[in-house]
Amino acid sequence: MNLTLFVWRQKGPEDPGRLKQLEARDISPDMSFLEMLDLVNEDLIKQGRDPIVFDHDCREGICGTCSQVINGVPHGPEERTTVCQLHMRNFKDGDTIYIEPWKAKAFPVIKDLIVDRNAFEHIIQSGGYISAHTGGVPDANAILIAKHDADTAMDAAECIGCGACVAACPNGSAMLFAAAKVTQFAVLPQGAVEAKKRVNSMISSMKKEGFGNCSNHYECQAVCPKGIKVSFIAKLNREFIASLKT
């Protein structure tokens, strides 16, 4: 396949950035999207031009660092699929593809397709953990947990913190991310001790980092590669209201 790419090129945070036209030649349908970019970069380097800078790590759909907006959709056209697991068979010969970074106030662009997502780390550091005794590990069945609660916690824990929810939200909200991190502990007895502090600290951190508010567009759920549901946001709101009660 031969493709026309319009790729966001930005030298640094202070550079205004712009879309640049590039060509992708002889692309196999079996390649992943990142492998296609690797091939384009090889050609750019041969020409003495700067390669496209983009994030990646595991390339197995686990870490979420491969975040890109493809044709206006975070992670591209396939549901529940990260960019590294998106294959070129989803495109046709002659297609034009637009590739951009996450664009949100809280995610400043570092260079090209890489953004600074430390804002998520700050939210986690503010309360996305439990304080637990680190002595001998208890038996798995020592604390009985209802299957529904265990399943809910596991579903919430699937969030990989890629930031697609923020990129898709017209308000740049991190509510889905924070809701998943709060919910995975809120339904378990181990998370009860610090529940009030956790939800207040994480919501305060969201505001401090410049994320917007949720206004129920559901775009976050639509683009989440792990299928995190907006029902967790309702749980976050209930936890926050409960924390305000004396």
CA distances from 115 to 13, 85, 180 (A): 9, 20, 22
- CATH for 132: 1.10.1060.10
Q: By 3-state DSSP, what share of the chain in percent is helix, strand and coil, each rounded to 5?
A: 40, 15, 50
Give strand ranges (E) for the chain: 3-9, 18-24, 69-70, 73-74, 96-100, 109-111, 114-115
Residue 81 has a pLDDT of: 97
Give the chain's mean pLDDT: 95
Quick one: 133 and 214 in the same domain?
A: yes
Last residue of a domain, one of 110, 139, 170: 110
Domain membership of residue 231 as a residue range: 118-244
Reported as a single tens digit per residue, the pLDDT across 198-242 is: 999 999 999 999 999 999 999 999 999 999 999 999 999 999 999
Question: Do 99 and 165 sit in the same domain of this protein?
Answer: no
Task: Indicate if the pLDDT at residue 142 is higher than 90.
Answer: no
Question: Which of 110, 136, 165 delimits the end of a domain?
Answer: 110
Confidence of residue 20 (pLDDT cuts 50, 70, 90): very high
Same structural domain, 187 and 131: yes
CATH number, domain containing residue 9: 3.10.20.30
| Percent of the chain predicted with pLDDT > 70 | 98
For residues 103 and 54, membership in a common domain is answered with yes
**42 & 127 share domain:** no
**Are both 129 and 212 inside the same structural domain?**
yes
pLDDT at 112: 98
Query: Using 50, 70 and 90 to split pLDDT, how confident is the model at 8?
Result: very high
Dihedral angle computed from the Cα positions of residues 157, 213, 80 and 87, in that order, rounded to the nearest 10 degrees: -130
User: Are 126 and 240 members of one domain?
Assistant: yes
CB 69 within 8 A of CB 101: yes
**Predicted pLDDT at 246:** 60
Pair 163, 236 in one domain: yes
From 90, 110, 130, give the residue that closes a domain. 110
Residues 99 and 148 occupy one common structural domain:
no
Choice among 40-49, 66-75, 104-113, 187-196 with the minimum mean pLDDT: 187-196
What's the confidence (pLDDT) of residue 130? 87
Residue 65, pLDDT > 90, answer: yes
Q: 239 and 126, same structural domain?
A: yes
Q: Is pTM, for the whole model, over 0.85? A: yes
What distance in Å separates the CA atoms of residue 234 and residue 236, rounded to the nearest whole number? 5
| Domain identity same for 99 and 198 | no
pLDDT band of residue 143 (cuts 50, 70, 90) is confident
pLDDT at position 140 over 90: no
Q: Is the pLDDT of residue 138 over 90?
A: no
**Residue 144, pLDDT score:** 85
DSSP letters spanning 167-230: HH-TT-B-HHHHHHHHHHHHTSGGGTTTHHHHHHHHHHHHHHHT-B---S--HHHHH-TT---T
Q: Residue 134: is its pLDDT beyond 80?
A: no
Domain shared by 212 and 155, yes or no: yes
Beta bridge partners of 185: none
d(Cα 2, Cα 43) in Å, to the nearest integer? 14
* Residue 119 to residue 161: CA distance in whole angstroms: 11
Domain count along the chain: 2
